Amino acid sequence: MPATTPPPDHLRQEVQNVLIGETEIAERVRELAAEIERDYADKDLLMVALLTGTVPFLADLMRHITLPLRLDFMGVSSYGDGTAPGELVFTKDLRLEARNRDVLLVDDILDTGQTLHAVLGKLIDLQPRSLKACVLLEKTSRRQEKVTANYVGFEVPDEFVVGYGLDYAERYRNLPFIGVLKPEVYS
Ligand code: IMP
Ligand code: MG
């Protein structure tokens, strides 16, 4: 395997390199699903996914879990479409009952921790029986809030990554891999 994998030709202008390829993602997502399956075997699992970046991850993850889970979404986004975290706005509330259920929050990436901190705070008020978090990616170097995720797919370096749900200005979510965005795209 080469040290850095180049992106497909049509993305050469925008994506510096492939950080995590499709096969590696698929393997790790299966492992996370197996862990969740084990931990929630005798529980009443309610997966709460944050829009919009979780869509590919969530779709793959849940199909590898055979438990009778429930699924709901919360909408949360930060103002602005750049790479700096902005003020959080809730755009969609839960529809299902969370009280006395075992809630597993699913997000794309844990960065400063602002998002998870705010959402976990909102969920705890709903009195779930248990509350945990699962993220595909984590950047530990930029943490501001004291939050941790119970399930983490990959730790990534402090670079702006896109693909497999993650966006820059609402683009690149559909890439099947996770790549590092070229700084000239956003600076
Ligand atoms: P936090 O609130 O700073 O922890 O950031 C969480 C949110 O910031 C994620 O749900 C993403 O929408 C966004 N984010 C943080 N880092 C990246 C990145 O490298 N690429 C794309 N989105 C990111
Ligand atoms: Mg985003």
The tokens of 41 are what? 């075997």
Task: Report the pLDDT value the prediction gives residue 4, as an integer from 0 to 100.
Answer: 87
List the chain domain ranges.
23-157
CA-to-CA distance for 111 and 109, rounded, in angstroms?
6
Instruction: Answer whether 180's CB lies under 8 Å from 160's CB.
Output: yes
Mutation to probe ligand 1, out of 17, 52, 108, 159 (largest number of atoms < 8 A from CB): 108
Whole-number Å distance, alpha carbon 169 to ligand 2 midpoint, is 8
Q: With 70 as the cut, is the pLDDT of residue 80 above it? A: no
Task: Report the pLDDT value the prediction gives residue 122, as an integer from 0 to 100.
Answer: 97
Phi, psi of 86 (to 5 degrees): -115, -160
Neighbours of 135 (CB within 10 A): 25
Neighbours of 151 (CB within 10 A): 18
Read off the pTM.
Answer: 0.96
Whole-number Å distance, alpha carbon 143 to ligand 1 midpoint, is 11
Task: Report the pLDDT value the prediction gives residue 74, as an integer from 0 to 100.
Answer: 98
Q: What is the pLDDT of residues 19-76, one digit of tens each?
A: 999 999 999 999 999 999 999 999 999 999 999 999 999 999 999 999 999 999 999 9
Q: Which fold has domain 23-157?
A: Rossmann fold (3.40.50)
Mapping DSSP to helix (H, G, I), strand (E, B) and coil, where does residue 41 land? coil
Q: With 80 as the cut, is the pLDDT of residue 2 above it? A: no
111: annotated active-site residue: yes
Phi, psi of 58 (to 5 degrees): -60, -45
CA-to-CA distance for 123 and 147, rounded, in angstroms?
14
Q: Which residues contact 123 (CB under 8 A, 6 or more apart)?
A: 48, 98, 103, 105, 131
Average pLDDT, the chain: 95
Q: Name the band, by pLDDT with cuts 50, 70 and 90, for residue 92.
A: very high
CA-to-CA distance for 185 and 18, rounded, in angstroms?
16
Q: With 60 as the cut, is the pLDDT of residue 1 above it? A: no
Q: With 90 as the cut, is the pLDDT of residue 85 above it? A: no
Task: Report the pLDDT value the prediction gives residue 83, as an integer from 0 to 100.
Answer: 72
Q: Name the band, by pLDDT with cuts 50, 70 and 90, for residue 103.
A: very high
Task: Report the pLDDT value the prediction gives residue 6, as an integer from 0 to 100.
Answer: 96
Q: With 90 as the cut, is the pLDDT of residue 86 above it? A: no
Task: Report the pLDDT value the prediction gives residue 81, as an integer from 0 to 100.
Answer: 63
Q: Could you give the percent of the chain with pLDDT greater than 70? A: 96
Report the atom number in ligand 1 closest to the C-alpha of 156: 19
Instruction: Answer whether 85's CB lies under 8 Å from 112's CB.
Output: yes
User: Which of these is catalytic: 102, 107, 108, 111?
Assistant: 111
